[in-house]
Structure formats: structure tokens, C-alpha cells
Structure 1
Amino acid sequence: MGYSPGVVVVVYLGFTLLIRRLPIKLRGLVFLLGLSLSTAAAHAQIGIYGKLDTLRFDDNANKNTTWLYGPGVGVYDDFLHFGPLRAGVDLRGDFLYGSDQKRFRSILGGVRVAVKPPLLPFKPYVQGSIGAGGVKNTSYLTANRYSTKFEYQVAGGVDTTILPRIDWRAIEVGYGRMPGVGSGPGTPNSSMLTISTGIVFRLPWLPLL
């Protein structure tokens, strides 16, 4: 349902009076903020990606290392643009399998910053994420569920355009940590080093309905 012309006029006049009561410097800041937000909304960029991960999982509590492999999926939205800089959010999930019957899954969300150099086909990025990660060792008779705990990760990579709206995620390297697989306050944290590659599908911008 749309707004009546009277409501629009009242809101416009009220906003105009409010702006006029501000100091001149603050008026300029309000104008620049509004311009930045409108520009950011008009240039939002959503990407959906799939990737293949290689993860080194260091179980420091039990002093062993496991290599795991498998797919991951995710989506990002770079909704803020400042010159060549892009900033937004990222949500991802991983489903990995190890050679010693260990399984690992995680879901992470966080913020990302990317750089799109003019006239160049590649875009480096960095991001920080938090979420939950779970480990399960299927060789244990009682291991019928994941041991899910808090996880955080920092990552960086490079996307390269290969076709219109399709990027090759040439490489991503991430490092994360989570509480140890064992229990107790003195259990050492587990650490994870991830190397990934994948494909990104950049969606065309669509106005919100």
C-alpha cells in the first residue's frame, strides 16, 4: 500500500526543517552520508560460490593432525562501495571428510573487504568470520554425533573474472581456531589451515520488492 501525497509532503517538510536547523558542516555530512548510502544500495553485488577445500586439522589436545577434503558453499553481498573498495558480508558452510574416518563441518558468517582495481580482471579480498564447527570420528562406536563448538576464521583470496558474471576463485587461504576436541578448561585449542579454490556466480543487481 502506497503513502498518500499528504504524508509524503509532511515527511519532506519535516526533514527539510530538521536539516535547516543543523550547522552548515553537519548538513554537508548528512548529504554525503545519504549520497553514500544511495550509491551503495545501487551497486550492491551478490555472489554465490562453490569451492573445494583442503583442510589441515591440528587436534592439539590429542596431539594429532588430520587432513580433510570436501566441498563448501557460500554467498556474499558487497553492498558498500567506496572507490575500488567493496565491503559486505559473507555466509558459508563446509562439509569435509578425512582419511582416518574423521568428519568436519562448519557454518561461518562475517564481514569481508575486497578491492576491484580499475580495468583489471582480478579482485583480492580478506574477511573475518565466526560461527560453529563440528568434528566427528566415525571410527568410535559412540561417535554418532558431531562435537560442535565455537569457531573463528580469518581468510584471504583472489577472484579472477573468466566470463561475464563468473569468477574463478583462484585461491583462498584461511586460518581458524576452535576449542579442543577434548573437554575441560585446560584443553588446548584446535587449529585449522584451509586452502580452497572454486567458482563464483555474480548475480545481477535487483531492486528490493
Structure 2
Amino acid sequence: MIRFRLFLFALLCLFLAPSPAHSQIAVYAGYSAASINNGGTDWAYGPLFGAYKQTGYAANIVSIGGDLRASFLSHNNFHYYTGAAGPRIAFKAPILPFRPYVEGLVGVGNVQTDGHNSSNHFNYQVLGGLDTTLLPRLDWRVVEFSYNAVPSQSVNAKTLTTGLVLRIW
């Protein structure tokens, strides 16, 4: 019984403990253009939405966290929708005003070509980008490059995105 109470107390402390002083939660939106391979179209375009949480910067240089995102690319009778989550590592350059980041994500992708039925399949994404601050809580996602694929459908996309990031916490 004492072990159970200690376990509950530890869980309570974990969930109620304040987050690190420099941690942040952000939401973002962007517009993407993607070069599509094996999808029935050469290019697709559309919005990207997501949110991430980061820890404070270790040694004021490196921050780790997680990202959750969804993209909606389409063109003519083709669509490529994805939802993914995974780890994020961001860097804070000591002098430069840019914050580069890299991510590796896994999730679900849905591909539809020429109006044929589609279904959900495994999707992975590898990406990197560069953010810079416009206002105290507003960043410009200058550029993000991602490679994402739905291997079972033999479809992949090389995507460029730009957008805005709102740091809400």
C-alpha cells in the first residue's frame, strides 16, 4: 500500500511539476509545393499545419522536442494527405538570428490518383528547416525541405514550405 501511494505521489509530482523555464509550445501553418514521384502528377500544392513542444536550450545551443503535423497536397485529380509525429531537434546559433531544426517523423499517408479509391498507409518524413523571429512570439518559417514517402504506394514527395510559427507558451 505504501509503494502504491509513493507511486501515485511520484506521478502527481511529474504531471504537476513546472516545465523548464525555456520550454515552448508553438503552432504553425505554411504553404507547400511538392515535386511528386509516381503519383500521376509532377507537382502538388497545399497547406501544412502543426504544433511542436520543445525543451529549453541545453548550453543555450540545442533543444529537443516533438512535432505533430498534417499536410494536404493536391493538384488536379491527385491528393497526398499526411499526418505524422516524431522527434525534433532545434539549434540556436550564438550570433545568427536563425534557428535551424531537423526532424524524423512517422505516421499515416493517403494517396489518391485520378479519382481512384484511396486508403491509409504508413508514411515517413525526414525534414529540416530554418526559422527566424519577426516579433517576440511570431517566427517566420523561412524555408523547410522535407522528403516524405508512402512506401507501399511507391509515392514520395520532395516538399518546400514557408509559413508562420506562433510560440504560445
Contact kept in structure 2, 1:110 and 1:127, CA below 8 Å:
yes
User: Secondary structure in 1 aligned to 2:165?
Assistant: strand
Q: Say whether residues 1:196 and 2:161 are aligned partners.
A: yes
Deviations 1:142-190 (A, max 9, x none): x3x4332101010001001111110000000011221243xxxxxxx32
Tell me the residue number matched to 2:23. Answer: 44
Letter in 2 for 1:69: Y
Letter in 1 for 2:42: T
- Unaligned 5+ runs, structure 2: 1-5, 7-16
Deviations 1:4-46 (A, max 9, x none): xxxxxxx7xxxxxxxxxxxxxxxxxxxxxxxxxx896232111
Tell me the residue number matched to 1:24. Answer: none
> Superposition pairs for residues 165-180 of structure 1, below 5 Å?
165-180=137-152
CA–CA distance in 1 between the matches of 2:36 and 2:131? Answer: 25
Deviations 1:69-116 (A, max 9, x none): 0001000100253121010000000111113x1011110101010011
CA–CA distance in 2 between the matches of 1:50 and 1:105? Answer: 15
CA–CA distance in 2 between the matches of 1:131 and 1:120? Answer: 33
Q: 1:39 to 1:116 in 2, by over 3 A?
A: farther
Tell me the residue number matched to 1:97. Answer: 74
User: Secondary structure in 2 aligned to 1:47?
Assistant: strand
Larger CA Rg, structure 1 vs 2 = 1
Name the % identity: 37
Contact kept in structure 2, 1:159 and 1:168, CA below 8 Å:
yes
Q: TM-score, normalised by structure 2?
A: 0.82
Deviations 1:109-145 (A, max 9, x none): 01010011235321000000000110113x44xx3x4
User: Secondary structure in 2 aligned to 1:42?
Assistant: coil
User: Secondary structure in 1 aligned to 2:88?
Assistant: strand
Contact kept in structure 2, 1:130 and 1:153, CA below 8 Å:
yes
Q: TM-score, normalised by structure 1?
A: 0.67
CA–CA distance in 2 between the matches of 1:150 and 1:66? Answer: 22
User: Secondary structure in 2 aligned to 1:120?
Assistant: coil
CA–CA distance in 2 between the matches of 1:39 and 1:201? Answer: 21
CA–CA distance in 2 between the matches of 1:46 and 1:66? Answer: 35
> Counting helix residues as a fraction of each chain, which structure ranks higher?
1
> Counting strand residues as a fraction of each chain, which structure ranks higher?
2
- Unaligned 5+ runs, structure 1: 1-10, 12-37, 182-188, 205-209
What is the root-mean-square deviation in Å for CA atoms of aligned residues?
2.2
Tell me the residue number matched to 1:22. Answer: none
Query: What is the aligned residue count?
Result: 154
